Amino acid sequence: MFTLFHHPFCPHSRFIRLIAGEYGLDLKLVEERSWERREAFLLLNAAGTTPVLVDEEQPIPGAAIIAEYIDEAYGAEMEPKRLMPETVAERVEVRRLMAWFNEKFFEEVSHPLVTERIYKRFMSEENGGGAPSADVMRAAKANVRYHLAYIGWLAQTRNFLAGDRLTYADLAAAAHLSAIDYLGDVPWSEDDAAKAWYARVKSRPSFRPLLSEWLAGVPASRTYVDLDF
């Protein structure tokens, strides 16, 4: 039994939940509002960010670090469903794309949109709460378009984003997209290949728990739960 300190709309937390779902790892979920900087949480992760996985009392902070940890501790026994390839060269490509979504897409798209449209509802004024910034949202929505085109290009070139098999790269991309798809902020009609790839990943059983969690007062977009969106 693992414990995951997460937030339902934290894209990095969603990434770890998808990995756990693919591997059948049993997660106890604890919702953490990282902006409140709860002292006991800071002891688990001095950076104060979600997600943090606790495995037999060891805290493992951060999406990429958790992904590496799970691969090192449990990856070998997960074959043939292992989400990290075996060869050094293929691992470079999976890590490159993981970082692309967990860092670049997060910074340019998913973090600003989730912060403005969701987190700010829960934040007190001194924590940065208040009305969403139209400027920030406009910039993020412009950025999502080139990322979608990049996903489409990868999906046309390969079976999955990093190669033949489903890997961490697909789950990271899908996790970030899912958080903003809930908000209706993905212009799916602009890229058929990206849309077809996402439909495949979204229809996996590991995705179901994410699709069934709704936020009171913020209805999901029309396409969010629809597997044939």
| Binding site residues, a copy of itself, CB under 8 A | 46-47, 58, 60-62, 64-65, 68-69, 72-73, 88-89, 91-92, 95-96, 99-100, 103-104, 150
Q: How far is the CB of 97 from a copy of itself (least distance, A)?
A: 10
* Number of CB atoms found within 10 A of residue 62's CB: 19
Q: How far is the CB of 10 from a copy of itself (least distance, A)?
A: 16
Contact (Cβ atoms closer than 8 angstroms) between residue 15 and residue 67:
yes
Report H helices in the chain: 11-23, 39-44, 63-70, 88-99, 111-114, 120-122, 134-157, 168-182, 192-202, 208-211
Q: Of the two residues 29 and 67, which places its CB atom closer to a copy of itself in the complex?
A: 67
Q: Of the two residues 40 and 134, which places its CB atom closer to a copy of itself in the complex?
A: 40
Q: Of the two residues 69 and 229, which places its CB atom closer to a copy of itself in the complex?
A: 69
- If you search the block for the tokens 């997060």, which residue do you land on? 106
Q: Of the two residues 68 and 137, which places its CB atom closer to a copy of itself in the complex?
A: 68
Q: How far is the CB of 225 from a copy of itself (least distance, A)?
A: 32
Q: How far is the CB of 224 from a copy of itself (least distance, A)?
A: 29
Q: Give the residue among 83, 68, 66, 77 at the shortest CA–CA distance from 206.
A: 83
Pair type for strands 58-61 and 52-55: antiparallel
